[in-house]
Structure formats: structure tokens, C-alpha cells
Amino acid sequence: MSVSKRPASKSPASKASASKASASKTSAPRAAGGRSYRPETQLVHGGTTRSPFGETSEALFLTQGFVYETAEQCEARFKGDEAGFLYSRFSNPTVAMFEKRMAAFEGAEAARGTASGMAAVTAALVGQLKAGDHVVAAKALFGSCRWVVEDFLPRFGVASTLVNGTDLEQWRKAVRPNTRVFFLESPTNPTLEIIDIGAVAEMAHAAGAKLVVDNVFATPIWQSPLALGADCVVYSATKHIDGQGRCLGGVILASEKFIQDHIHMLLRQTGPSMSPFNAWVLLKGLETLHLRVRRQTDTAATVSVALAEHPKIVRQIYPGRPDHPQAAVARKQMRGGSTLVAFEVAGGKAGAFRFLNALELVRITNNLGDAKSLVTHPATTTHQRLTPEQRAELGIADGLVRFSAGLEHPDDVVGDLLTALEAV
Ligand SMILES: Cc1ncc(COP(=O)(O)O)c(C=O)c1O
């Protein structure tokens, strides 16, 4: 499975991107003799716009707005008659570089950066919906995503149905005449279930709905939901895209029409904008994304082997393993395993806490995709809002731990995990 198997990028040329062009020069990647560059090259050069100073690294345009030579020029910009930036709530050169680089790598026509992953998820859903509409979502969602679907949308007259995402029949049965959006993440947080994106997309389209996929756990390295049939992909860039625990960010990727119809005005007028500084950090993160994710995936696979027969491990879930419950779907739609492993430690919450407290190198936190190996106890953190019954239904046992592989030497990570298991 290799990243170079992903589909070639479509041209992001569009009215909106033209209107965001600046006086600076877009200089990379250059198409030499019609050559298109491979994904890894897009991660380093995609979307780069150089200022007249010709800087090597992307420039950080830390400005809230822009000045105009004349009132006539200002009017022309606002009318859309002249290309250029207007105001950093919705257009900034550094953020635009991040958006173009993400779009080039994902094979999307358009992208919009947001302040956080949750801003991206919320905008991708809210932007398509109005009172009277209905959403179907997989119930295995990150806690905040589930809150948006289950608690927040109904306040505005949008009904929602949560289904077991791995059971295609449940998606089909949940459809109503007013269903407008299907929403899922795969692999799911934290139990790493795999949902058949192509099959759900087909069902959504047959129902006249659009499919939004939160691709955070797969990363753009291992899975391309748009190529599988999804209409919109969202990321928390806070995770692997930064990958070094420095900042929050999010991104929405889709066709130019989807972005124009559902996202652009919502972000522009309501303002959950990506900071130019964060966009700059995330551009740097993208340059090394494929190296980090590959290394983290190798380490996660090594950890899953080390824990497989361990007497203190009750259950383990790793999408790269043949014993994963949806291994066949994982092989069909993912190009690699996962940087995460979920496992249940013997002794329930007390056993899990003894294990977490005995770790020295691997740190306890709720983030993932970082250079540092991290562990999370979902039942008391990301999914503590759910009732014990809801957690049990999702397989979030009190002993469940989510491990996110970092960039340390794999032997040190495995050693720390095995030593800590002795305390259980
Ligand atoms: C699957 C998933 N989606 C969305 C988010 C939200 O991202 P952020 O924390 O950047 O708002 C998270 C955060 O953990 C997540 O795990």
C-alpha cells in the first residue's frame, strides 16, 4: 500500500481561488512540460506563493487586513472585479497557501482553513442544513462531534439519527425524505472501527444527501474519502497535520461548488477563521506529514504485535491487523494501517489507571498524532459525557486505552508500555 496510488489532483483553478490571488507570485510547484508532481512533492511545494522578496520558507502574513492604493481599487476588490485579499477573517495569503496545499494533496478542488477541527466539522454540517432537515451519523464519533449532531443541531430544528456505522442496513433504514447529510469518521475515535465509505456514499447519494467524512484518524496519507465517493472531508489539523502539539486548526475540503454553496459565506460571515500564524505552522507540518505518519504507523504496528498475546491485554484493535473486525473494508479503502492502537487493559478503570500512571515515556493526554507517543483513557476524557450504557454500546470499556504512536525509537515505546503493564 503506497501513498503514490492516490488519485492525481484535480485543478483547483476557480473563480474563488482567483479572487484570492495576491500581487505576489505563485511559484511552485511549476509544471515542467506538463509534468504533475507526486503527493509528497505537493506536501512541500503545493500552494506556495512567494512575495517579491523571494523567501525560501513560506511568508507569514500576520495582518488582519490589507490597504488599497485608491478608493476605486478598494471598491473593485469588494465587488470582486479585482483579484486580491480583503480581510483575514476570510482571506489571507498564508492561510490561502495552507488551503491550496491541502487541496492539492487531498485531490480536492477547494479547501477552507478553520480555527479548529470542531469549527471545520460544525461548519461542514451546519452549512448544508436548515430547520426541518435530518442528519444520519455513525454513533461512534469523537465526543464533541457527537454533541454537535445529537444536542446542538436539534436546537435549530435539525433532527438526527445515530446508527451503528458498520451496519449498512442501519444507514439505509435511517433515511427519511428530509435526510440531507450523512456523517461519519473512519477509523472511529477511539475504537478504530472501519466504516465502508464507498457504500455509505452510494446510499447517501441515492437518498439525495451528501456524505461528510471526518478523516482525522486515517490522515490524508492513508485514506482519500473524496476518491471513495464522499462529498466533503474534514480534518482537525491539530492532530497529524501539525503533529508537534503546537496549535489548533481545521480544514474543510470539497468541490468548488460545495464550498461555494455551503461553506464560503458561513465562514466569511460568522468568522471561525484559521489564524495566519497557525496556517504557517501547519504548512511546515505538511512538509513532513508523510514521513511522520509512515513512521508512526510502523511504530503502532510494532506496538500491536508486542501487545497481541500479552496476558494483561483483554482486547486489542488495530486496523492493520488481519484480526480487525473490518479488516477487509480497511484493505479496500485504506493505503496503510493506523498511527493509533486501541487496547483494553485487564482490571477495568483501576487497571487502566495503574497502567497509565506507570508510564514514563508515553504521556497521558487527550491529543493524538503527535511526535510524542500519547495515551488517552476515553471513558474519563473524550467520551466521559456519554452514559455508561452508551459507552458500552460503542465498546468503550473502562479499561480501554487509546495509544497514539510518536516518533521515538519504537523499542523505547514498546519497552515503556510493557514495563507499565507490569503495574496492572
Ligand atoms: C475525530 C476527531 N474529529 C475532530 C476533532 C476536533 O478537533 P479539534 O480539537 O482541532 O477541534 C477531534 C479531536 O480530538 C477528533 O479526534
pLDDT in tens, 182-238: 999 999 999 999 999 999 999 999 999 999 999 999 999 999 999 999 999 999 999
Ligand 1 centre and the CA of 249: distance in Å?
9
Task: Return the ligand 1 atom nearest residue 366 CA.
Answer: 14
Mean pLDDT of the chain: 92
Q: Supply the pLDDT for residue 259.
A: 98
Mean pLDDT (whole number) for 375-399: 95
| Ligand 1 surroundings by CB, under 6 angstroms | 116-118, 121, 142, 144-145, 185, 189, 214, 216-217, 236, 238, 248, 250
Per-residue pLDDT at 179: 98
pLDDT over 80 (residue 17):
no
CA of 121 to the centre of ligand 1 (A): 9
What pLDDT is stored for residue 36 in this prediction?
83
Q: How far is the CA of 23 from the centre of ligand 1 (A)?
A: 35
Q: How many Å lie between the centroid of ligand 1 and the Cα of residue 117?
A: 5
pLDDT at 144: 94
Closest ligand 1 atom to 237 CA? 10
Q: Would you state the cell numbers that stand for residue 423, as one nine-digit string?
A: 503495574
Per-residue confidence (pLDDT) for residue 33, from 0 to 100: 52
Locate the ligand 1 atom nearest the alpha carbon of residue 185 and give its number: 1
The CB density around residue 155, as the number of other CB atoms within 10 Å, is 7
CA dihedral 33, 35, 41, 42 (to 10 degrees): 100
Percent of the chain with pLDDT over 90: 91
Among the ranges given (28-32, 293-297, 420-424), the one the predictor scored with the smallest mean pLDDT:
28-32
Residue at 172: amino acid letter: R
Segment 402-420 shows an average pLDDT of: 98
How many angstroms is it from 215 CA to the middle of ligand 1? 10
1: pLDDT strictly greater than 80:
no
The amino acid occupying position 22 is S
What's the whole-number mean pLDDT along residues 301-312?
Answer: 96
Q: Say how far apart CA 123 and CA 99 lie, in whole Å.
A: 16
Write out the three cell numbers for 188: 472511529
Given a contact cutoff of 8 angstroms between Cβ atoms, the answer to whether 86 and 16 are in contact is no
Please compute the mean of the pLDDT values over residues 414-423 and round it to a whole number: 98
Which carries the bigger pLDDT value, residue 11 or residue 296?
A: 296
Which of the four pLDDT bands, split at 50, 70 and 90, describes residue 34?
Answer: low
250 CA closest ligand 1 atom index: 10
Q: What is the pLDDT of residues 24-33, one digit of tens each?
A: 444 444 444 5
The predicted structure's pLDDT at residue 320: 87
What number does the ligand 1 atom closest to the CA of 238 have?
10
Q: Is 122:146 a contact under the CB 8 Å cutoff? A: no
Verify cis geometry, omega within 30 degrees of 0, for the bond prior to 29. Answer: yes
Given a contact cutoff of 8 angstroms between Cβ atoms, the answer to whether 250 and 236 are in contact is yes
pTM above 0.85, yes or no: yes
Distance 123 CA to ligand 1 centre (A): 14
